[in-house]
Amino acid sequence: MNKHSKQFSDDAAIRKTVQGLRQLYIPRPEFNALDARFSSLLEQRRADAADGVAFKARGLMLIGASGSGKTTAVRELIRKYSAEIQTDPGYEICEYIGLQVPSPATMKFVGAATLRALGYPFSGNKQGPAIWDQVKEQLKLRQTIFLGFDEAQDLARFQTDKERQSVVNTLKSLMENSVWPVGLLLSGMPDLKKIVNQDPQLARRVDPIEIGRLHSIRDTGAVLKMVQKYADRAQIAVDSSVQSEAFAMRLMHAADYQFGLLAEIVVLAVSQALFTDGFEAKLCLQHFADVFRDRNGADVWMNVFLADDYGRIDPRRLLDNDGDGEDAVL
């Protein structure tokens, strides 16, 4: 940063713009697929309710590696539908309830956490089945039609086959409840597939969507458009150094080819430009290099945006400065 950085970081208009950058969401095709399936399930549930029938519910499973953007995708999905369904847990009726799977992810702890998310404080020494009976009762009382579990792969972590089957049976029972069936929105790491695939009946009731890794060639155009959109939101110019396919490849590698991490890096780089030069800033390669340095503690020769042979750098590692610096761009 230059000597004027503090001045710009204290500027209210700059801070407001940075907030806008963090709120900007650029959907991937996987999000559009998730949106379409969620909309279809919601419309069918509304139609069933209007006719007074209760069919078995279906679920959605969003799979992605760490940093793929799955948690953000679910948050944006629920925000989009907040005008059509009740999503505020503070209200008596809440049609969508979401929570992160607690640790340890025993059925008792998960059931207790779900009750708390439903606004029903759990206390006592009830066993798992009794707790989940309470969960089903509260789901009906609050008219919840979708229940979301984030980091759902933890439901089967460090569990025996018998315990995993108990998880599967519990998930099925929520969707197959004859009194008040509830659709599931499961999001998590690839291990989540093991839980769902353990039981053919559960797998048949869940629609899978996977957020794949970015492709170093195929996605270059989309990545460059994304950078431009964030710069446009900030109302700053873009330097030619961040408009080439070569730059897009560096950016994807810096994000380990994960969409969520890439969006985070772009937001930080645009914010860095604003804090450095205000609205007169021109987004350039150095802003991205500065962000990578701050995030990873990387010296020049281990900075994805500066090193010639950047493909050798593991972008997930912190303070990984064992390179000799001979291939650095100085």
**CA–CA distance from 134 to each of 108, 120, 237, 294, 315 (Å)?**
12, 9, 56, 47, 45
Tell me the pLDDT band of 328, cut-offs 50, 70 and 90: very low
Q: What is the DSSP string of 96-126?
A: EEEEEPPSS--HHHHHHHHHHHTT----S--
Q: Rounded CA gap, 39 and 58, in Å?
A: 12
Across the chain, mean pLDDT equals: 91
Q: What is the DSSP string of 274-310?
A: HHHHGGG-EE-HHHHHHHHHHHH---GGG-TTTBTTG
**CA–CA distance from 312 to each of 148, 253, 256, 259, 293 (Å)?**
38, 10, 12, 20, 16
> Average pLDDT for residues 314-325, to the nearest whole number?
76
* 79-122 confidence digits (pLDDT tens): 999 999 999 888 999 999 999 999 878 888 899 999 999 998 77
pLDDT > 90 in the chain, percent = 77
pLDDT at 324: 46
> Average pLDDT for residues 288-316, to the nearest whole number?
95
Domains of the chain plus CATH, in order, are: 5-25+215-312 (no CATH), 54-211 (3.40.50.300)
pLDDT at 330: 33
Q: Which pTM value belongs to this model? A: 0.88
> 60 and 41 in contact (C-beta within 8 Å)?
yes
* 41-67 confidence digits (pLDDT tens): 999 999 988 888 878 899 999 999 999
- Cis peptide bond prior to 121, omega within 30° of 0: no
pLDDT at 175: 95
